[in-house]
Amino acid sequence: MIDRLAIALAQINPTVGDVPGNVRRIREARAAAAGADLVVLPELAVSGYPPEDLVLKDAFLAAVESGVRELARETGDGGPALLVGAPWKQDGARYNAAALLDGGRIAALVRKHHLPNYGVFDEARVFAPAPPPDPLEFRGVRLGLAICEDIWFPDVPRHLRDSGAELFLVPNGSPFETDKLHLRLEHAEARVAETGLPLLYVNQIGGQDELVFDGASFVLDADGTRVRQLPSWREAVEISHWRRNGNTGWHCDPAPLARPVEGLEAIYRAMMLGLADYVHKNRFAGVLIGLSGGIDSALAAAVAADALGPARVWCVMMPSPFTSRDSLEDAAEVARMCGVRLDNIDIRPAMDAYGAMLAPEFRGRAPDITEENLQSRARGVTLMALSNKFGYMVVSTGNKSEMSAGYATLYGDMCGGFAVLKDIYKTTVFALAAWRNANRPEGALGAKGPVMPPRVLTKAPTAELRPNQTDQDSLPPYAELDAILECLIEREMGPAEIVAAGHDAQTVRKVFRLLDRAEYKRRQAPPGVKVTSRAFGRDRRYPIVNGFTDAV
């Protein structure tokens, strides 16, 4: 019976569908873990997570199985064994599985029991649930393997303990949300407390469509003490050293804990990584941003410069007759401070052309929101033309407050391939901008100092589509709007509850109606980084045709 074990935690950044690339990353992680007995990879690392309906393609599953068997053969060299996640077809059913690769073969296969079917997760749609797994025998140690969701409930860990498991290995694909690190720890600590067994938790890193994974893998000793903490927001491979004590079981040697990344810094880095991976994995040359001189586009430009480097960020100022001198100056200063390219394309010729073209049909009707939207759409057409010509992806700059209230123009400012502020409320936009002006996040490729002038942080937000316009002409003050929206969206409170909590009844009714009526716009919005518990998209699925008013 062995009394020493070296287990490597390998939080890597796979790409969904890129089986050869993911196999290469796993191979590199194994090489970096030389001296370990076992390398634990994240959930579904061979396929990338979440693979969604790729799992329904037999050709894809065959490619994954081929990759797993290739890795298995390589473990015949006497180096570390591998624990790799992969979708696996067995007896006609498809499973979310993890394979133990050792001695040149697939030594064991464990299948996931609890399949999440809420929020962004729909594993029950493509995978079959397996019975609670039994422990794996590995070089004289009984390992309890619980894949991601299987650690969020007590039954699988209890079954593993009762079946003789000596420590838990938990491969994960757990997306980032604000305060998610604390939630993961709470569940892991509860399982350790219930079973008395230590736990090794490995999470993936990287962006995948709207999801972003923050890594932050960790080890809990048998008494619940966190003895290892890997960094957030970057790939890492670290070897944990374990000792068996005959009286108290397995214990992990402690090591310095990586600094936790929380709050505004975590949100900012989620935006950076989400945008960077979306651009890199989709092979765009760079990004295009309509820079207005306002805070939303300024923050989007700063995130893009930090994520991709200033040389890959192209900003365009598109003034109209209503664009103020302040906005022109502020846009130029943002571009200078971020170090990005800025071009100026006047949209007045397009406005004049549309005005002349539509004049016969509009005769006798006063200008209204139609003409305002034409300005926004002229800007959208301009950016999309540049995108088509030069291969840069348009980043839309609308925030969650605007998208909630429908304060956005279809085929105008909503144009784009990715919406970096999509899940960021306006009040958080201001907080993030102030934070970035005072801090430069680890890994940032952009400016070392502030990224926008103070006036961008202090002036009243405006779309500048008519004279003297401000957002508050149409919307409640953002502090009030965002508080009500959070009640409606993240907390699913009804209007009566929100009014009882102290908000003005008329304002609550107005915000509820705005949120309800804008669903058709949100369905047509580009994807964007998820940071809250209820991002627009798969997190929150409401019908467009909807006669329910919730007693408003």
Q: Domain ranges in the chain?
A: 4-256, 267-466
* Residue pair 199/170 in contact by the 8 Å Cβ criterion: yes
pTM of this structure: 0.94
Distance CA(312)–CA(304), nearest Å, equals 8
User: How far apart (Å, rounded) are the C-alpha atoms in residues 355 and 350?
Assistant: 8
Q: Smallest Cα–Cα separation from 169: which of 159, 181, 160? A: 160
In this structure, are residues 361 and 389 in contact, taking their beta carbons and an 8 Å threshold? Answer: no
Helix (H) or strand (E) holding 337, with range, is helix 325-338
Q: Which residues pair with 84 in a beta bridge?
A: 99
Q: Could you identify the residue written with the tokens 């892991």?
A: 188
What residues have CB less than 8 Å from 54, skipping those under 6 apart? Answer: 16, 17, 47, 60
Instruction: Say how far apart CA 358 and CA 356 lie, in whole Å.
Output: 6
Does a cis peptide bond (omega within 30 degrees of 0) precede residue 50? yes
**What integer pLDDT is reported at residue 543 of this predicted model?**
87
| Rg, C-alpha atoms of the chain | 26
Residue 200, SS3 per DSSP: strand
Locate 320 and state its tokens: 């109209």
pLDDT of residue 314: 98
CB atoms within 10 A of CB 407: 20
- CATH fold label, 4-256: Nitrilase/N-carbamoyl-D-aminoacid amidohydrolase (3.60.110)
Which of the residues are catalytic? Answer: 43, 112, 148
pLDDT of amino acid 101: 98
Tell which phi-psi region holds residue 118, choosing left (phi > 0), alpha (psi between -120 and 50) or beta.
beta
CA proximity to 313, closest of 346, 282, 290: 290
pLDDT at 310: 98
Q: Quickly name the fold that domain 267-466 has.
A: Rossmann fold (3.40.50)
Per the DSSP assignment, residues forming a β-bridge with 175 are: 213
Please tell me the predicted confidence (pLDDT) of residue 547. 85
Where the chain has pLDDT below 70, the residues are 1, 462-473, 551-552
Please report, for residues 41, 65, 137, 251, 383, the alpha-carbon distance to residue 85 in angstroms, rounded to integers and kept in the order given.
7, 11, 17, 25, 41
Q: Would strands 167-172 and 4-11 be described as parallel, antiparallel, or unpaired?
A: unpaired
Q: Where are the beta strands (DSSP E) in 91-217?
A: 93-102, 105-111, 136-138, 141-145, 167-172, 199-203, 205-208, 211-214
Predicted local confidence at residue 365, as pLDDT: 93
Residue 57, token pair as written in the block: 């393609």
Q: Which tokens in the block code for residue 83?
A: 């624990």
CB 159 within 8 A of CB 197: no
- CA 129 to chain centroid: 26
